[in-house]
Structure 1
């Protein structure tokens, strides 16, 4: 008999003989194969199923891109390249990982508010599409193109005059470091013409981590209207339109999974409305967290069990240095627990208790679960943090206190 899942994310991973299965392998055996804890494990079956789920709901004409910043593990990126239409990168390092997959460089887009001239030169030389975010970048691209004898593949990233309502992270609307303010776009489009730069289209990204279908529908409709307006100010046909993503995943109690069906239906209708003014435009959606977040787990081993004034502490060999987001220190205003389980004690037969899961660091911030109901765990048991496929290892301060790095495996 299996225990009631602590969170819907737990239902994505099977349980057999009291043990969580990841990639079809019992967690205890996987830990033996990795050779040490803590580690991250990503399930390729879940990755493939999530891409198929998105494609089943998107209009067929819309391309699907993977935003590598969510998880730049090379093996995972190689797997995703086979499933999606493009890869979005945000640094020279990510550009190298993308190019190493063998993908057509024209399917790589490079965004980010602080691209160096060296990064811009590498992108132009490789044939990647640069999403320019400032006048400085446009002038640099013109110089680089002239020096290399190449025409940069260029898209303007636009800071829209609206935001994705209810998003966990607002990337547009108001004063932002991202992109070119929508009202300044006509001036910079004219500058591009004067510099001899061809603008292929626009990247309009208003927010991320939304669980509200109606908010995403509204933002996508506003994005397409803005793209129509911008098209009137450019001398070049709009060939590319990246409308961002914003699809969220549920992390905390009370949050429900995002329903893609109404989003896909509304987007199909909105595209039909703008087809006349954007006849040659390839529309793409850029998703990171939504594609990979639920396919990963973080696994740490209990190395001590302590009771302090009646409170149980499970001390593990992992912590915020590997998984900053789960500790609550990656943007949470009020700390909430990620879904956590004892991976080798998954049946309902185990006695349960209230316990806090902490790491080995000398800071009270090193907290993976606070006063959470869990099976009674002992030294050697495996703590599992779900929803760990995005913004985990690469978004954490692994050098803090010089503990060993956490390896990653794709299974």
Structure 2
């Protein structure tokens, strides 16, 4: 008895005119020839627009706020440069990231240093340059106080990170007892330390828990002020989602996806997928968060912050990088399988980091044929990497391409600037890391490009 093949799934990315313009310009074929391998292109205008939208959301809610770009989301220098130019800061978690940010124009006082168990070099650099340090443990606070007392150049600036009650097993933050001790040590440090407030690291994208915890931090600030501490700011971290596709397509995908849709019958848990659609994304999610009513307050988070005279700090990464870049591979081999093709491209899935978290980067890649006159139709294919690992697949899912993929054709993976490009990159097999190209589309019939200035 014949087996009816599973209808193919599609997950097209939302329209992105800037990326479409780069494709239409013909620039990608030239860059492919120039680099001889995969590359990423960056669209800094999108970063600028996302940052402006968040700053406007804060202003519209009447909230004094400051945005830090979470540098871990993309190593490219251009985004630190744009943050510096537009009056934003950068969130760093290593001495390398701190040095990169300073080297690309970010002022020391516009840096916030996060991450657990920071090493002594990072803490010393942070104090010397006037960066704000999110203190994650009591021994870390002691180290910062010691550095500040020994240098006496300027007071160390700190936030105390709170262990979220709704995520008690998180490895980030201090318990209530530890926080009480930390506050007392801040008081005891005197002029060597400026305790500017509290922060938290909260996993997930739900707005209500984030608003509730922000309100709790407000209460902690008011209590700390009674003891003579500044306590004028709170940081809510990141956690602002973006949307890669529309709601109907995403929900249909979740309801119908099954092993037959993937090469080798691969299985995925839908709970492991990033939420590729969010009804509120980016600056809209921030506006909704500010309008959320924290429990037991009877008013909005924006009002809670205003009434307490607090500045809201946030550290978005992915949300600032929405539509700020894409990734290009060249097809170098094609095999026919039972009802679909298996493509091999000139790179690895380490340049699509989602593949290394028991998940899949789901937005459909776009085929850019070498011969635009190639016959059209419906041609399903999965995409593998140029390595000797069976599991090294860029796309396990059988993508529906409108033309038959052939060697020399390009594949464009859309909207990859947020975490996908480089968080897991590796020169495996001595393959070069894909370079990053900054594309300038301003007032020109054809875009210009240059290599990003990241030092490594």
Q: Which is higher, the Rg of structure 1 or of structure 2?
A: 2
- For this structure pair, what is the TM-score category when the shorter chain's length is used for normalisation? 0.7 to 0.9
For 1:62, the equivalent position in structure 2 comes to: 65
Superposed displacement of residue 34, structure 1: 4.8
The 5-angstrom pairing of residues 86-235 of structure 1 reads 86-150=89-153, 151-162=155-166, 173-196=167-190, 197-208=193-204, 210=205, 215-233=206-224, 235=227
For 1:241, the equivalent position in structure 2 comes to: 234
**Deviation digits for residues 184-240 of structure 1 (CA, Å, limit 9, x no counterpart):** 3112111222344331111223124x3xxxx21442243123331353145212122
Aligned pairs, number? 382
**Deviation digits for residues 1-23 of structure 1 (CA, Å, limit 9, x no counterpart):** xxxxx6563511457xxxx4339
Say whether the 8 Å CA contact 2:93–2:113 is kept in structure 1. Answer: yes
SS state at 2:139 partner? helix
Say whether the 8 Å CA contact 2:44–2:78 is kept in structure 1. Answer: no
Structure 2 CA distance for aligned equivalents of residues 349 and 182 of structure 1: 66
Superposed displacement of residue 95, structure 1: 0.2
For 2:382, the equivalent position in structure 1 comes to: 356
Say whether the 8 Å CA contact 1:62–1:282 is kept in structure 2. Answer: yes
Which piece of structure 1 moves more, 365-374 or 182-191? 182-191
SS state at 2:15 partner? helix
Structure 1 CA distance for aligned equivalents of residues 401 and 224 of structure 2: 59
Identify which of 260, 264, 267 aligns with 2:287.
264
Say whether the 8 Å CA contact 1:244–1:286 is kept in structure 2. Answer: yes
For 1:368, the equivalent position in structure 2 comes to: 394
**Deviation digits for residues 229-281 of structure 1 (CA, Å, limit 9, x no counterpart):** 353145212122112231112357334344254751551532213433x22x2
Structure 2 CA distance for aligned equivalents of residues 237 and 318 of structure 1: 51
Structure 1 CA distance for aligned equivalents of residues 168 and 373 of structure 2: 50
Structure 2 CA distance for aligned equivalents of residues 12 and 317 of structure 1: 25
For 1:48, the equivalent position in structure 2 comes to: 48
Say whether the 8 Å CA contact 2:32–2:38 is kept in structure 1. Answer: no
Structure 1 CA distance for aligned equivalents of residues 339 and 302 of structure 2: 59
Superposed displacement of residue 309, structure 1: 4.5
SS state at 2:319 partner? helix
Change (3 A) 1:51 1:348: farther
Say whether the 8 Å CA contact 2:305–2:312 is kept in structure 1. Answer: no
For 2:450, the equivalent position in structure 1 comes to: none
Change (3 A) 1:352 1:124: same
Say whether the 8 Å CA contact 1:228–1:274 is kept in structure 2. Answer: no
Structure 1 CA distance for aligned equivalents of residues 388 and 18 of structure 2: 35
Q: TM-score, normalised by structure 2?
A: 0.76
Structure 2 CA distance for aligned equivalents of residues 319 and 264 of structure 1: 38
Structure 1 CA distance for aligned equivalents of residues 30 and 162 of structure 2: 44
Q: TM-score, normalised by structure 1?
A: 0.84
Change (3 A) 1:143 1:293: same
Q: Which runs of 5+ in 2 are unaligned?
A: 1-9, 252-275, 292-299, 440-456
Say whether the 8 Å CA contact 1:65–1:88 is kept in structure 2. Answer: yes
Structure 2 CA distance for aligned equivalents of residues 115 and 262 of structure 1: 30
Q: Which runs of 5+ in 1 are unaligned?
A: 1-5, 163-172
Structure 2 CA distance for aligned equivalents of residues 188 and 284 of structure 1: 21
Identify which of 357, 363, 376 aligns with 1:330.
357
Change (3 A) 1:193 1:85: same
Change (3 A) 1:120 1:381: same
Say whether the 8 Å CA contact 2:353–2:422 is kept in structure 1. Answer: no
* RMSD (CA atoms): 2.7
Which piece of structure 1 moves more, 393-402 or 346-355? 346-355
Say whether the 8 Å CA contact 2:382–2:395 is kept in structure 1. Answer: yes
2:301 paired with 1:275? no
Say whether the 8 Å CA contact 1:46–1:295 is kept in structure 2. Answer: yes
